[in-house]
Amino acid sequence: MMKKVLGISILIALAGLLGWQIYQKVSQSAPATSGGWGGRGGGRPAVAVEIGEVQQRTIQDIGQFTGSLSPKSQFIVTPKISGRLKQLFVDVGDPVERNQLIAVIDDEGYLQEVEKAQAELEVAKANLEESRSALAIAKRDFERAQNLQQNDILSQSGLDSAEAKYNAAVANYRVSQALVKNRESGLHAAQLHLSYTEIRASWETGDQPRVVGQRFVDEGSILKANDPIVSILDLNAITCVINVIERDYFKVRQDQPATIETDAFPGQTFQGRVARIAPLLNESSRQAEIEIEIPNSDGLLKPGMFVRVQIEFANIEDTTVVPVAALVKRNDQQGVYRADLENMTAQFVPVQVGVLTTQFAQILDPPLSGSVVTLGQYLLEDGATIVLPGQQEQTPSQERPQRQEP
């Protein structure tokens, strides 16, 4: 929007300069009147101007913005474990399928951990079998001691001793069971670490191939957990982020169509839609971020490209418009000079402007018709005499009838 306002300001300045040049040319060619340069009353000189017509036409309220492209989604592939990067199977620009193997970390140490965990599990299982047998024996001894004690054959101390051995066997069996579970967990962890030596590109949604954006390491590098290896980009659709000022913010709607242009493809346009609207405006800039999603199945658009975005907010039919060059400010009032072609004068008319385009300005109030000054208006005052290109003011000598010869 700032770019549009700047362009309009430059256009108005050039119009003023051109008007001055026309004024000089007409002034040099027009003969002086008895009152000096002479308007119709012989006072101020007539000002050379150009005019344009007030029209009834359709005008589009179009917001113009700039922004940069970014991938619809991207992520960094990192290892979950440390080790030496043994193999890297992709490079920058390579397509990548979902769950494709990207790289392999040296797995020798992790294989040894798995073998060690398996051996420890076998030992724990053997200890469990031993403790199970000991528990069975202790249980039989305790039950026998109970029978003997009931028949007054075994003393109470003998029964207590058998019971203690049984309880110890139960505790030892439970410890052996826990140790087996511990060793099983250790084996599972070792196997999981071993699986982490194969690094895959995985994402949750969409089966379309993606592409490698950057490569951060080479084969043989020593990596720590979470060190970046490559970045994966989704370029099947691409996103443009634009900043919208407060005045335009409430004109933007979800799924509103947008037209995108870039200098990389002159004359070619791309169609997108408003995908996300920020729910708040930045306090310092008073702008809000709007995300435009653009289909990119052919892959022409790339992240980082500078683009221009147009969003049509409204299509206003049969409204009053004037050439944008006709707008001028007088005493802090925006208005136009209406050209009275019958009396060849110009009157300043304050106006309320609606939609602005590069060519036309919508006039909301007052009702306006006829012609307006589009060039030279910066030299005018209210009621000033005007002259159009190709016309000359009549001097008194031209106005007097010629004396007839006898």
- pLDDT for 321-353, tens place per residue? 999 999 999 888 899 999 999 899 999 999 999
At residue 390 the predicted structure's pLDDT band, cuts being 50, 70 and 90, is confident
Secondary structure of residue 97 in the 3-state scheme: coil
Residue holding tokens 């797995």?
Answer: 107
d(C-alpha 107, C-alpha 103), whole Å: 12
- As a CATH number, domain 2-59+317-399 is 2.40.420.20
Q: Residue 99 pLDDT more than 90? A: yes
Task: Give the architecture (CATH level 2) of 108-195.
Answer: Orthogonal Bundle (1.10)
d(C-alpha 2, C-alpha 247), whole Å: 12
CATH number for the 65-72+234-315 domain, one of 1.10.1660.10, 2.40.30.170, 3.30.70.20, 3.40.50.300?
2.40.30.170
Give the count of alpha carbons within 13 A of 326, CB side only. 33
At residue 20 the predicted structure's pLDDT band, cuts being 50, 70 and 90, is low
Per-residue model confidence as pLDDT tens digits over 132-149: 998 898 888 878 888 887
Range with lowest mean pLDDT among 131-140, 144-153, 226-235, 265-274:
144-153
- What is the number of residues in the chain? 406
Q: Domain residues of the chain, as ranges?
A: 2-59+317-399, 65-72+234-315, 79-106+197-228, 108-195
- Across the range 368-374, mean pLDDT stands at 91
pLDDT at position 219: 94
pLDDT at position 401: 45
pLDDT at position 149: 76
Residue holding tokens 């004109």?
Answer: 251
pLDDT at position 402: 46
Distance of CA 38 to CAs 44, 196, 238, 344, 400, Å?
6, 94, 65, 13, 16
Distance of CA 66 to CAs 109, 240, 247, 261, 309, Å?
53, 9, 16, 10, 6
pTM: 0.63
Residue 377: DSSP 8-state? G
Backbone angles phi, psi at 88, to 5 degrees: -130, 120
In the chain, DSSP finds a helix count (H) and a strand count (E) of: 5, 21
- Across the range 46-61, mean pLDDT stands at 90
Q: Residue 60 pLDDT more than 90? A: no
Q: Residue 396 pLDDT more than 50? A: no
Task: Give the architecture (CATH level 2) of 79-106+197-228.
Answer: Beta Barrel (2.40)
d(C-alpha 275, C-alpha 252), whole Å: 11
Secondary structure of residue 378 in the 3-state scheme: helix
Residues 245, 226: contact at Cβ < 8 Å? no
Q: Residue 395 pLDDT more than 50? A: no
d(C-alpha 355, C-alpha 61), whole Å: 6
Q: Report the chain's terminal Cα–Cα distance, integer Å.
A: 73
- Top-ranked range on mean pLDDT: pick from 26-35, 56-65, 147-156: 56-65
Q: Residue 46 pLDDT more than 70? A: yes
Q: What is the largest CA-CA distance in the chain?
A: 180
Residues 374, 51: contact at Cβ < 8 Å? yes
